[in-house]
Amino acid sequence: MTRSSVQGEDTDEGAADAPERAQAVRGDGDNGVDGARDEPEGAALGAEGGTGEGTEGEPDAPRPRRRRRVLRWTAVVLAVVLAGTAGAGYLYYEHLNDNIKQDALNLGDNKVAKPTPNAAGQTPLNILVIGSDARDSEENQQLGGARETFGSTPLADVQMLVHLSADRSNMSVVSMPRDTLLEIPRCTDPDDGEVYPASEGRVMTNQSLGHGGPGCTVATWQELTGIHIDHFVMVDFAGVVSMADAVGGVPVCVDANIHSRDAGGHGSGLKLEKGTHPVKGEQALQWLRTRYGFEDGSDLARAKAQHMYLNAMVRVLRENATLSSPNRLRRLAEEATEALTVDPDLDSVKKLYDLSDELRKVKPERITMTTMPNRYVGARVEPTEDAEQLFRLVREDIALDGKDAKKKPDAEPEPPADPAAPDDEIAVQVRNGTRTDELGTAPGRANTVSGLLVDRGFTKAVADPSVLPSEDRTVIRYPSADLEGDARRVAKSLGVPASSVKRSTDVSGVTLVVGADWREDTAYRAPESDDRTPESAEALNGADDSACMHVNPAFTWS
């Protein structure tokens, strides 16, 4: 297995050292990864990572340099959600409800509209899975090490968006590397009213959890992706060990003997022989947090290992007949609920079971695991143009495995309840949203298009230069049903497809945003859709049981 293509170069089989950038991401020595926690040498499961400031430039406020460690719980968190595949009876024990902690869903100021139901009235489900490195209990402290960080602000070191399609035929999972640089929006803690200001510039995404809780991580995702998030599920350290034990072990594979420990004591301590082995307990935890020894030693390689673990966990939950044992199921339920924090709409085992019942409708071969396409910025990463392509596919409920049934041409929508007003009575605000990651805003587009509308009889059309959004495609938004007919009339006049007319509470009237697909000319031509999953997303199929992690020769043994 070669180095992940998102990093732009391959790892030489005989190389003793990874490339300089990957070295920085690993956090060796003084090149530590900002926002990560590292434990002292000799701590419970070994040390990883280093020190750093925690922002793209200078920190917002001075803070002590300390060793902090990184833990990722990606596979186990999602497996908790999928645990309903094993059976239902145990979920109805009332005392389990008391185990589940809850927190507000979205602490941000901006809301993203829910997706429009399909022709059958079905809507997709989006669940954000968060792995917290909080050391807020004796068990978490023992597993987590770094005892000097007990009670400190937790980090969201695992972030995975689980998208269940509207027709429940497929599932897409998008992981975001914890080192991703982005802007965290303003968040307000509903418990005490404390306001966390928006970040000054870009910071690491894992810091969002410290801005009032998981609801700020949800708000950060929605700001970045434009995807409406219905629920979140967050798990702590102890859940990793207990869940892996409860299911009897999860099979993982390495292509050579591995010992994740270097001369300086860095590494998870994972030691396995070449081949496939079931891991559970602390060994499962070691697998999930290993980066020293996998591929180039970066956080991206670790995410790939977590995807493999998760796929295997799902298969175990579906296929292992021993999980029909009431005692084992009861234990799994106890361990899972004690490890969870969820949003208020998932605050009971009945609600969790109902969600898992939806998720279990998807067969493993229709589950696609991906990593958000990214590029290095020093020792960090940032989303690429391919990331926006991936987000769009999720927003539009397009399967990442490319196996969607061929869609019928869009039918002519039903006439609006309130017909359009005469053209010269329709007020339209036109905004210039042509900016992209690679190109600046095309000058004068709002004026040009508003003038075009005026020439066509929409005399109340005006350019709004105060707002410069960014839209890949031209869109027309309206706030309420009584303006739907007006919005559709504007779209028809310009040749904008009906699918680009959206209801949104973010606007106060009919608002046309000229997108990057209309940077020039006066005639609008809708672009052809490219609905392929970018290769840089490193897609892994949920039924793939042949995947095997590549071991860096510097971490093998004989």
Q: What is the pLDDT along the chain (558 residues), one digit of tens a residue?
A: 333 333 333 333 333 333 333 333 333 333 333 334 433 332 332 333 333 333 333 344 444 333 333 333 444 445 555 444 444 444 445 778 888 999 999 999 988 888 888 888 899 999 999 988 654 445 444 444 444 344 568 888 889 999 999 999 999 999 998 889 999 999 999 888 999 999 999 999 999 999 999 999 999 999 999 899 999 999 876 666 677 777 788 899 999 999 999 988 889 999 999 999 999 888 988 898 898 999 988 888 888 888 888 888 888 877 764 455 667 667 777 777 888 899 999 998 889 888 888 888 899 999 999 999 999 999 899 999 899 899 999 999 999 999 987 665 555 567 887 899 999 999 999 999 999 878 899 999 999 999 999 999 999 999 999 888 888 889 999 999 899 999 999 999 999 998 889 888 789 999 999 999 999 999 999 887 788 999 999 999 988 888 899 999 999 998
Residues 298 and 303: their CA atoms lie apart, in Å, by 9
196 with 211: CB under 8 angstroms? yes
Q: What is the DSSP string of 127-141?
A: EEEEEE----SHHHH
Give pTM, 2 decimals: 0.69
Residues 46 and 134: their CA atoms lie apart, in Å, by 17
CB atoms within 10 A of CB 273: 10
Tokens linked to 174: 């998008």
Q: Is 200 helix (H, G, I), strand (E, B) or coil?
A: coil
Q: Measure Cα distances from 365 to 76, 208, 247, 404, 540 in Å.
A: 19, 33, 21, 13, 10
- Cβ burial of 535 (10 Å; 0-12, 13-18, 19+) is exposed
Which are the contacts of 447, defined by CB distance < 8 A and separation ≥ 6?
463
Residues 142 and 388: their CA atoms lie apart, in Å, by 39
